[in-house]
Amino acid sequence: MKFNTKTIHGGQTHDPAYGSVMPPIYQTSTYAQSTPGGHKGFEYSRTHNPTRQALENAFASIENGNYGLAFGSGLAAIDAVLKLLEPGDEVISTNDLYGGSYRLFTSIFKKFGIKFHFVGMQNADNIESYVTDKTKLIWVETPTNPMMNIIDIKAVSTIAKKHDLLLAVDNTFATPYLQQPIDLGADIVMHSATKYLGGHSDVVMGALVVKDKELADKLYFIQNASGAVCGPQDSFLVLRGIKTLHIRMQRHSENGKAVATYLASHPKVEHVYWPGFESHPNHEVAKSQMKDFGGMISFTTKGNNYEEAIKIVEKLKIFTLAESLGGVESLCGHPASMTHASIPKEEREKTGVVDSLIRLSVGIEDIDDLLDDLKQAIG
């Protein structure tokens, strides 16, 4: 199956009870047994649920993995990956990452004796000097949030395999429509399925996909033991969202290109961060590992004025000022005061998250309306 077909049919079967084309919402916590242990593959919905299982099969299919896991949020999915580790283990993470990931690493798992190194990964060679005999995991986002930095997954995979490390890739911004990290050498792919996979800003969910059975079994054990699973209604919503992922991502990418081009020519704009520009750092890597460049864009204004950035996001009308991204509607955010407020100012500015930085999640509306909205807001 090609990708566009997989989004609709990948890993799916018609419901055996009545031939339902869409997986039914099995809104149940438990399942009847004919004798102790005599059941039809389902005992308790924390462990397995038919609707969630259909979604997990879809996750695995679109990421070219063998096993999918669905969680109550993206952070719950990351939490499960970190529970593979033990006190004394070390993690090498990109230094430009989602603020919630940074908070989970430093405020929760650090106190359990796990050490984190935050490293600029635009040049993969930087990673190797941080590897010790205690290193167990490399954590990558690409494109990164919110600076849109591109990390060479194949190059990082080579380092991970050389030192027998796990490589996990947060693929939330790109989605499997644009890149498939498992094909590039990743062991674990993570998504905040809240974003593009769901696609309609109506659900919170996380996903993991792996190829290796032993690793999958460890993660399934953690998923069941810790219990941070999603419900059947949410599973149904994300299954429905995935069915239009390919056509949505095509429009997100088309609109993203138009918005990035407009901003780059605006006299009040200082920098535009979008991997599709030839001048973007690691543009050639993006071209090689991504099918297109997506709808996520960040930009700064000349003078780097905090108050001016706030005025712009307040004046936008079609772009809604809100947390999150990846829905059909366009959103804008101010990372320094919103998504990355948990990262100390000195640390966030090292990675480029300055006071005037504005992040756009470009939706699938008419492009003329989006450009007119930016025009009136920036002035």
Q: Hey, which residues are catalytic here?
A: 46, 98, 170, 195
* Phi, psi (degrees; rounded to nearest 5) at 169: -120, 125
Output the CA torsion 173→175→178→184 (10° steps): 100
Asked whether the CA dihedral 178, 181, 182, 184 is positive or negative, the reply is positive
Asked whether the CA dihedral 360, 201, 220, 212 is positive or negative, the reply is negative
Parallel, antiparallel, or unpaired: how do β-strands 135-141 and 166-170 relate?
parallel
Asked whether the CA dihedral 205, 237, 46, 29 is positive or negative, the reply is positive
Q: Among residues 270, 174, 198, 236, which one has the least CA distance to residue 12?
A: 236
Contact 49, 4 (CB under 8 A): no
- What span, in angstroms and rounded, lies between the C-alpha atoms of 62 and 259? 28
- What span, in angstroms and rounded, lies between the C-alpha atoms of 377 and 313? 8
Output the CA torsion 258→200→331→196 (10° steps): -60
Q: Among residues 97, 193, 90, which one has the least CA distance to residue 132?
A: 90
HSE on the CB side for 185, CA within 13 Å?
18
